[in-house]
Amino acid sequence: MCREPVTAFVALGANLGDAQGAVLQAVAALAALPETRLTARSRLYRTAPHEAAGPDFINAVARIETGLSAPALLEALQALEHTAGRERPYANAPRTLDLDILLYGQARIDSPRLTVPHPRMAGRAFVLYPLADVAPERVLAADWLAVQDQAITPLEHPSP
């Protein structure tokens, strides 16, 4: 059963192995999900781990149009993480791939498995900068103040 497409934003990150390659492969995998079309990808960014230890992260945000329900999208993202070798030995452990639904249309979801909008996105530079690349209207001025002390380095030039 096909649903009316919804615009969703997915945060991508990795800090183990070929982190940049993992993020780029995950972007391609998002575009290949059923009933889903990639409409934009942010620049790649390098950030130190936030509230965690380990090597620096490579982060990005993808904007997609999807006919998948939010729970089905979550399942698909977790399958991509598993395929990339994601393990969860403890909270905020280094990871081969991390995929989070930031926004799913205008939906507000609060379930044991999924909270949308993502509850911690406004306090994380590694989410706000790439989100601003693909949807600047989704980042508020107050959000920038909350992350002004978090170091972040763009690895690419903005798209034209």
Catalytic residue annotation? 86, 95, 98, 100
Name the token pair of 117.
Answer: 């909008």
What single letter denotes the amino acid at residue 116? V
Q: In the chain, where do the E strands start and end?
A: 6-14, 36-41, 45-47, 57-66, 98-104, 109-110, 115-116, 152-154
- Per the document, the length of the chain is 160
